[in-house]
Structure 1
Amino acid sequence: MKNWIIVLVLLFTVTSCKTRNTGRKANKNIKTDSTFVLDIDQNPKDANEPIRNKLPFFEHVIPPPQFEQIKINSKVNVETGSFIPTLDATIYIEKDKKVWMNLQAFIITVARGIATPEGIKGQDKTSKTYIDSDFDYLNNLLNVNFIDYKSLEKILLGRTFVRINDSQFTLTQNSQGFRLVSNVNQKIETEGRTREYKIALDYDTNYDLLNVNLKDVLSPDELSVSYDNWEEINGIRLPKNVKIIIKGSKNSQILLENTKFDFSRMDTPYSVPSSYKKIEIK
């Protein structure tokens, strides 16, 4: 698999450990767009008794941010065991419509991609190849079933992207914030195959998402995502640092340092030259 494909897949999905998403429910008629992940095996120090009324917490962590478009400039470092230089990424999100990404190495554009509710497209300018896929194809590639356009937006903006509910999760609070942990293994079934996961999420006192962990009960597969250095910009809380750790048959991690946020519109060109060759990801 080409290095640029690894980068695009990691940035677009933030997961390549063999995961499958839980449902899309939240009690009390709160609309959710599932989002799930992060886990720390130790209970927080000085944890209080479980919070029984979880509604105020869900009201803070479930609703998506309100915006029309956001441009994010990022420094990206990927560790996969193969050399990948530090990449400069421009990520442009037009709410509910598209996520456009341009990747540069040493001031030269090496890859470009775009995701819409219909699917994803990406091109590697160094090898003159491209991909064109729906989300089902990407989910099959990564052995997951929850990735869609809305979850992609939430992942990039540090919002809760796994399914959480009142009855199967325990919520506690301590001096650092909140911790939400599945009290029963979360069964995720797709096409007749069932896997079980332990899920934990940590939030600070401002309800900013700090960590998400998804651990397969029967295998070494594990995904951890952490967000740090949150700032309020134009009335929206946004993380400046994102760290993704993927464990399984192969381990990898990706670090994003978001250096600038801009809310103005921008052009998002995407076209594939006729000389480029379409490739299948295996």
Structure 2
Amino acid sequence: MKKWIPLLILTLLIYSCKARKTAVETGQRPDSTAVAGTDADPISTDGKNVADRLDFYQKIYLHPQFDHLKITSKITADNIKVSPLDAIIYIETDKKIWARIDFLFFNAARALITPEGIKAMDKYNKNYIDSDFDYLNNLLNVNFIDYKNLEKLLLGRTFFTLSNRNARIVKNNDGYLVESLSNIKIETKEGEREYKIMMQYSDDFDLATVNLRDAGSNDAMQIDYSNWELQPNNVKLPKNVKIIIKGSKNSQILIENTKFDFSRMDTPYSVPSSYKKIEIQ
């Protein structure tokens, strides 16, 4: 369990409704796709106005839609010895995320994530979990992961919405840099946490880097997306993903997405009666 299920969940995090009720400082949900009004302040570069924020927000928040996506991947992680691993991740938009991890043709782990929670089983050790999203948030030292945010993370989509008053957008040599001017507050039933957020986009408005730093601790997360590829249905997706977790927990995972397929597939998930349930503390 310690080897397979945390890796499976972390892998799902890199890729993203009835989501956990969180609230950011702006009053919007973290998974909101609202854009700024036409009277928004312009983006600046060396003091020069280059575009209004409405156009920029439309580029980073609005994307072509799809119903089904199968991702074939290879995974390398620094906390296990048996990598790289082969993985299949299947997304049915707004409904479920199903995943399978294989090693040497052996199906080692499987997961089913819905807006209601997370189910995952370790076939190697014959264990399983059945939990809400608190398990994933605790594992990653954050509190903003719900189903819709997870879906967006899987796809390299922007999952935080900053207000006009709390966002600095600057055109730089790498594209566009977005920074929160003050900490973003996210409230859940467990309490409140504040984050400093930085997002770098390419000149083509592809998300390149997300930096999240907890204002109250040394915990931080960085996600890097690269080699974006335009699919035949006009959906653009990253082929390479890197996630780094720092602070009280440290981890690094590299993912190479080798194939994207937008057809429907079967997603079997059933736990044998002999498997032991792991209780989440």
**TM-score interval (norm. to shorter):** 0.7 to 0.9
Q: Deviations over 1:92-146 (max 9, x none)?
A: 1111111110000111110000111111111110111111112245435555332
Q: 1:186–1:125: structure 2 CA closer, same or farther, 3 Å change rule?
A: same
Residue number in structure 1 paired with 2:39: none
SS in 2 for 1:167: helix
What is the TM-score when the length of structure 1 is the normalising length?
0.84
| Aligned ranges 1:1-282 → 2 under 5 Å | 2-14=2-14, 23=24, 33=31, 47-49=45-47, 53-80=52-79, 82-140=80-138, 142-191=140-189, 193-233=191-231, 234-282=233-281
What is the alpha-carbon distance in structure 1 between the residues aligned to residue 209 and residue 27 of structure 2?
A: 20
Contact 2:167–2:181 (CA under 8 A) maintained in structure 1: yes
SS in 1 for 2:10: helix
What is the TM-score when the length of structure 2 is the normalising length?
0.85
Q: 1:167–1:227: structure 2 CA closer, same or farther, 3 Å change rule?
A: same
What is the alpha-carbon distance in structure 2 between the residues aligned to residue 84 and residue 49 of structure 1?
A: 51
Q: Deviations over 1:41-94 (max 9, x none)?
A: xxxxx95337683111111111254001111000001112x4242110001111
More moved, 159-168 vs 243-252 = 159-168
Give the unaligned 5+ runs of structure 1. 16-20, 36-45
Aligned length: 264
Contact 1:25–1:32 (CA under 8 A) maintained in structure 2: no
Give the unaligned 5+ runs of structure 2. 16-21, 34-43
What is the alpha-carbon distance in structure 1 between the residues aligned to residue 208 and residue 273 of structure 2?
A: 44
What is the alpha-carbon distance in structure 1 between the residues aligned to residue 202 and residue 139 of structure 2?
A: 34
- Amino acid of the structure 2 residue aligned with 1:2: K
Q: 1:129–1:147: structure 2 CA closer, same or farther, 3 Å change rule?
A: same
What is the alpha-carbon distance in structure 1 between the residues aligned to residue 190 and residue 70 of structure 2?
A: 40
RMSD between superposed Cα atoms in Å: 2.7
> Percent of aligned positions with the same letter in both sequences?
53
